[in-house]
């Protein structure tokens, strides 16, 4: 089959809509369940490329959580600590390496991942499907599914959950095209390989990038390769913890992603972990309330009645000073940027979120200021010489 009709395009008024192969060959995807839409397929095909490259670069199973053609999270299948299992709501599940990868990808920014499209680098197993079955999600793409996993996923959303199988041997044409306002654009595909060779040029005084940090920098760069630009990505222990996408200013990307990384770490604070939620409160409502609790310094919003709805008793405030002290313990974070940092203010913001390792293209007329700021905080930085804009 070389064509698949879709319900509609980006919006209901955009009809007709379809995906098809211009050369008449068969589509590299097979819909096993549901009826994926236009945006679903944009997310599916972009996220599949991301996890495929993560698996190739690290040798580990990989997963991504996509929303509106950018990742909300991406990760490889490293084991989870008991603490992370708790804040990701998977402490009651048996986790395979692939399930660990998706738990990390989904757990980094759970608010943004709500209603995501999921990509898995490996055949979806029962453990991963069980996790997917209880999250609010639009669909999944993977190279295959075990019989039990497919049975679980087909029962999700009253049988309408989108399940797509991708041909792992599919290789796209090296030249790609798209139309904008009736004008056809054409370019060579971005086939740049993200490897440790990109981290060789280290202009900072500190040139030490341990193996785990190098892996995290590669995860950041591969994630950025499939994130709408401008974009910045914070990574720790094999998972993105903050992604800033589609901002016009680089420092706004760094701030946005840094704020997400901070929220990820603040969720591990003992006061947050001990919030007295009522047992009936659903996970998405818990996530939203935690975000309010973390961001609301004087708790005015909670005092106006939210806490009465969600908690058995009014929680103790997490003060600005407590948050600052807690965030000061965040260390070992890796940061990637899809293009050069034009000013040292990006480094200043990154440092506040525990960044100790950076990979960026380099080539700014103010590289000396960026290097100087890194040296100020003993940050090791690599100039990759590779821009990774994605549109």
- Give the residue numbers annotated as catalytic, written as ranges: 67-68, 230, 391
Instruction: Please give the structure tokens belonging to residue 267.
Output: 């969720």
Q: Say whether the peptide bond before residue 374 is cis (omega within 30 degrees of 0).
A: no
Contact partners, residue 81, CB within 8 Å, separation at least 6: none
Consecutive H or E run containing 132: helix 126-133
Count of alpha carbons within 13 Å of 56, Cβ hemisphere only?
11
DSSP 8-class letter at 358 = E
**Residue 51 contacts residue 64 (beta carbons within 8 Å):** yes
Cβ-Cβ contacts under 8 Å for 282 (sequence gap 6 or more): none
- Angstrom distance (rounded) from CA 74 to CA 220: 9
Of the candidates 391, 67, 34, the one whose C-alpha atom is nearest the C-alpha of residue 260 is 67
The answer to whether the beta carbons of residues 334 and 213 sit under 8 Å apart is: yes
Say if residues 154 and 98 touch (Cβ distance below 8 Å).
Answer: no
What lies within 8 Å, CB to CB, of 43 at 6+ separation is 66, 67, 68, 69, 116, 117, 138
Query: Any idea how long the chain is?
Result: 391
Exposure b/e, 92-118, CB count within 10 A at least 16 = b? ebebbbbbbbbbbbbbbbbebbbebbb
Query: Coil, strand, or helix at residue 377?
Result: coil
């Amino acid at each position: 089959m070389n064509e698949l009709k879709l319900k509609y395009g980006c919006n209901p008024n955009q009809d007709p809509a379809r995906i098809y192969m211009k050369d008449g060959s068969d589509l590299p995807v097979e819909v096993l369940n549901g009826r994926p839409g236009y945006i679903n397929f944009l997310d599916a095909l972009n996220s599949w490329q991301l996890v495929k490259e993560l698996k190739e670069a690290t040798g580990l199973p990989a997963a991504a959580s996509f929303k509106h053609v950018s990742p909300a999270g991406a990760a490889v299948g490293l084991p989870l600590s008991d603490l992370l299992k708790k804040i990701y709501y998977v402490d009651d599940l048996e986790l395979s390496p692939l399930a660990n990868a998706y738990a990390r990808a989904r757990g980094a920014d759970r608010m943004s991942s709500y209603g995501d499209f999921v990509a898995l680098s490996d055949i979806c197993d029962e453990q991963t499907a069980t996790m997917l079955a209880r999250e609010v999600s639009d669909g999944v793409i993977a190279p295959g599914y075990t019989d039990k996993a497919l049975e679980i996923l087909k029962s999700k959303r009253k049988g309408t959950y989108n399940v797509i199988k991708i041909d792992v041997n599919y290789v796209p044409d090296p030249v790609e095209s798209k139309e904008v306002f009736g004008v056809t654009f054409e370019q060579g595909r971005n086939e740049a390989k993200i490897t440790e060779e990109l981290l060789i040029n280290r202009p900072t005084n500190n040139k030490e990038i341990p193996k785990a940090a190098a892996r995290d920098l590669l995860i950041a760069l591969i994630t950025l390769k499939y994130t709408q630009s401008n974009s910045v990505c914070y990574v720790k222990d094999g998972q993105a913890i903050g992604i800033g996408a589609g901002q016009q200013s680089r420092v706004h990307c760094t701030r946005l992603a840094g704020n997400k990384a901070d929220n990820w770490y603040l969720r591990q604070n003992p006061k947050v972990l001990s919030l007295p939620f009522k047992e009936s409160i659903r996970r998405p409502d818990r996530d939203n309330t935690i975000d309010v609790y973390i961001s609301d310094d004087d708790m005015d919003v909670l005092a106006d009645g939210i806490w009465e709805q969600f908690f058995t008793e009014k929680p103790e405030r997490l003060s600005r000073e407590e948050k600052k002290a807690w965030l000061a313990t965040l260390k070992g974070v890796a940061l990637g940027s899809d293009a050069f940092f034009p000013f040292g203010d990006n480094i200043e913001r990154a440092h506040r979120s525990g960044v100790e390792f950076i990979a960026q293209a380099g080539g700014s007329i103010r590289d000396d200021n960026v290097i100087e700021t890194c040296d100020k905080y003993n940050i090791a930085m690599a100039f990759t010489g590779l821009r990774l804009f994605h549109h």
